[in-house]
Amino acid sequence: MRSPLKITAAAAASAALVGSLAACAANEPANSGASGGKTLEITSWWTSGSEADALDVLTAAAKSAVPGLSIDNAAVSGGGGANARQALAARLQAGSPPDTWQLHPAGQLKAYVDGGQVADVSQLWSDNGWASKLPKDVAEAQQVNGKYYTVPIGVHRGNVLWTNPAVLSNAGVTIDPKAGVDSLITDLKKIQSTGTTPVCLGDKDVFASAELLESLIMARTGADNWKKLFTNSYSFGAPEVKQALNDYVTILGMANKDHSALTWDEAAKNMADGKCAVNLMGDWAFGELRNAGKQPGKDFAWATFPGKEEVFDYVGDGFSTPASNLKHPDEAKAWLKTLMDPKVQTDFAAKKGSIPARTDADISSLSQYQQQAAAAFKSVPVVSSLAHGQVTTAEFAQTYSDAVTALNGGGSIDAFVSAMVQAQSSQLK
Ligand code: GAL
């Protein structure tokens, strides 16, 4: 196995590095596995403790499905995947893609389809009857114009507030998801008055603060208006969105000062270690905290992000294969089939903190948190994440990510709103 590449956004943008990566990839022989035979090269951004363990579940299952298979793990570190996607873009550009890569469905998938980069796997879907084994929304998210281009391995929830029970109790605070954002902010101020940092944040990779802001926007607008933001029928200049931006700036002011130097997993572990009271993060944090030996209910607890109504912020993970220059087609096909095995989905979820995408996967062995997430996914309004490029076009998601970076760097709320309103009219047609 190759050790995961570490690429900073700035370095990845440098033409020299991209050029050398591409050249390196192009020079690889077609069947470069240790066995000299069956190989599968996989790109993902799963490099944290829990992510790497969850990926191991998948590669072990693929190896049992294909005896003699050798795995080339081309993971690129950086939570949320911006670095991995940059490295992948260089590989695609050079005509030397990996055999399969991790991606989010819907908006992010569509960019690869529009670029002619991803293989149509509709035949595999119909041969295996997969559509009938998935919630309708999940199956649809894997399609573009009626054709399937990816397969889902799991469903994450983005808007979860992870909490430290001892710190909350010490401040005499109970987070009530139904009490809304104003009450949350009052609680955080109360914690601050006890001398403890209220919020742990690790936004070295900007998705972490983009996800905090999106949770606040959803909390203030509710699910329906969140969806309307992406059909340009509800404005990023609406009072509820501006309120969420004010909340965001207030909450950022209550976070650890070194947040831009920490990764998402470091921030989550700091919360469980009592360095702060709460951490907003997708439920991959559940997998990571358990991987670090933290006990649910004791070292950490959770609450749905407080808001005007309960919302499930859906972040899907899946894998696709390239439309051209696929080096190992049989192995890639076996990989996609392995991912859709219900037992594999359950075993993966146990490490990852997600829930299986398949409705027939047995989740009885999963944690109490995951049982609750699975129940919520069926019963509360489900929306898709912007911070993870799922709800709309990749271009608009990039505009949002850049606007969050500017805001974090001291940019004004007015500048954020104006960039987003402008993008709504020019990019969401
Ligand atoms: C998300 C992905 C998760 C998790 C997270 C942090 O984009 O859906 O599986 O890996 O990034 O890296």
User: Does residue 182 register a pLDDT over 50?
Assistant: yes
Instruction: Quickly list H helices, 353-412.
Output: 368-379, 394-408
Between the CA of 80 and the centroid of ligand 1 the distance, in Å, is 5
Contacts 24+ apart (CB under 8 A), 346-352: 347/57, 347/61, 348/54, 348/57, 348/58, 348/153, 348/154, 349/154, 350/57, 351/50, 351/53, 351/54, 351/56, 351/57, 351/287, 351/291, 352/50, 352/51, 352/54, 352/154, 352/156, 352/284, 352/287
| pLDDT the model gives residue 123 | 98
| pLDDT the model gives residue 36 | 52
User: Does residue 249 register a pLDDT over 90?
Assistant: yes
The 10s digit of each residue's pLDDT in 278-316 is 999 999 999 999 999 999 999 999 999 999 999 999 999
| pLDDT the model gives residue 23 | 35
What is the pTM for the complete model shown? 0.93
Ligand 1 atom nearest to CA at 81: 7
Q: Find out whether 280 and 203 touch, Cβ atoms under 8 Å.
A: no
Ligand 1 atom nearest to CA at 282: 5
Between the CA of 284 and the centroid of ligand 1 the distance, in Å, is 7
Between the CA of 242 and the centroid of ligand 1 the distance, in Å, is 27
Question: How much of the chain exceeds pLDDT 90, in percent?
Answer: 91
Q: Looking at the DSSP assignment, which residues form a beta bridge with residue 319?
A: 102, 151
| pLDDT the model gives residue 171 | 98
CA 385 to chain CA centroid, nearest Å: 8
Tell me how far apart the alpha carbons of residues 331 and 128 are, in angstroms, rounded to a whole number. 17
Q: What is the mean pLDDT of the chain?
A: 93
Ligand 1 atom nearest to CA at 354: 9
Q: Find out whether 355 and 377 touch, Cβ atoms under 8 Å.
A: yes
What number is the average pLDDT over the span 183-210? Answer: 98
Tell me how far apart the alpha carbons of residues 401 and 395 are, in angstroms, rounded to a whole number. 10
In this prediction, residue 2 has a pLDDT band, given cuts at 50, 70 and 90, of: low
User: Does residue 12 register a pLDDT over 70?
Assistant: no
Q: Tell me the residue type at 156.
A: H
Q: Dihedral sign, CA of 111, 114, 116, 118?
A: positive
- Per-residue DSSP letter, 197: E
The 10s digit of each residue's pLDDT in 325-343 is 999 999 999 999 999 999 9
Which of 10 and 152 is assigned the larger pLDDT?
Answer: 152
Q: Find out whether 79 and 34 touch, Cβ atoms under 8 Å.
A: no
Tell me how far apart the alpha carbons of residues 326 and 320 are, in angstroms, rounded to a whole number. 11
| pLDDT the model gives residue 37 | 81
* Smallest CA separation from ligand 1 atom 2, residue: 80
Ligand 1 atom nearest to CA at 265: 6
User: Does residue 158 register a pLDDT over 50?
Assistant: yes
Reduce the DSSP state of residue 238 to 3 states and report it. coil
Between the CA of 208 and the centroid of ligand 1 the distance, in Å, is 10
The residues, ordered by sequence, that sit 6+ positions from 226 with a Cβ below 8 Å of its Cβ are 217, 218, 311, 383
Ligand 1 atom nearest to CA at 46: 10
| pLDDT the model gives residue 10 | 38
Q: How far are the Cα atoms of 71, 91, 225 from residue 284, in angstroms, in the given order?
A: 24, 27, 26
Ligand 1 atom nearest to CA at 154: 9
H/E element, 280: strand 276-281
Between the CA of 194 and the centroid of ligand 1 the distance, in Å, is 33
Determine how β-strand 312-320 pairs with β-strand 100-103.
antiparallel
Q: Which of 44, 46, 266 to mutate to test the pocket of ligand 1 (most atoms within 8 A of CB)?
A: 46
Q: Which of 42, 44, 45 to mutate to test the pocket of ligand 1 (most atoms within 8 A of CB)?
A: 45
Residues in contact with ligand 1 by the CB-under-6-Å rule are 45-46, 51, 79-81, 156, 264, 284, 315, 317, 388
Between the CA of 183 and the centroid of ligand 1 the distance, in Å, is 29
In this prediction, residue 251 has a pLDDT band, given cuts at 50, 70 and 90, of: very high
What number is the average pLDDT over the span 27-55? Answer: 78
Q: Find out whether 404 and 209 touch, Cβ atoms under 8 Å.
A: yes
User: Does residue 4 register a pLDDT over 60?
Assistant: no
Tell me how far apart the alpha carbons of residues 323 and 109 are, in angstroms, rounded to a whole number. 13
The 10s digit of each residue's pLDDT in 392-403 is 999 999 999 999
* Smallest CA separation from ligand 1 atom 1, residue: 80
Reduce the DSSP state of residue 383 to 3 states and report it. strand
The 10s digit of each residue's pLDDT in 106-129 is 999 999 999 999 999 999 999 999
| pLDDT the model gives residue 423 | 98
DSSP 40-52: EEEE----SHHHH
Q: Find out whether 142 and 359 touch, Cβ atoms under 8 Å.
A: no
User: Does residue 21 register a pLDDT over 50?
Assistant: no
Instruction: Quickly list H helices, 27-79.
Output: 49-65
Between the CA of 85 and the centroid of ligand 1 the distance, in Å, is 12
Between the CA of 145 and the centroid of ligand 1 the distance, in Å, is 26
Between the CA of 11 and the centroid of ligand 1 the distance, in Å, is 21
The 10s digit of each residue's pLDDT in 64-112 is 999 999 999 999 999 999 999 999 999 999 999 999 999 999 999 999 9
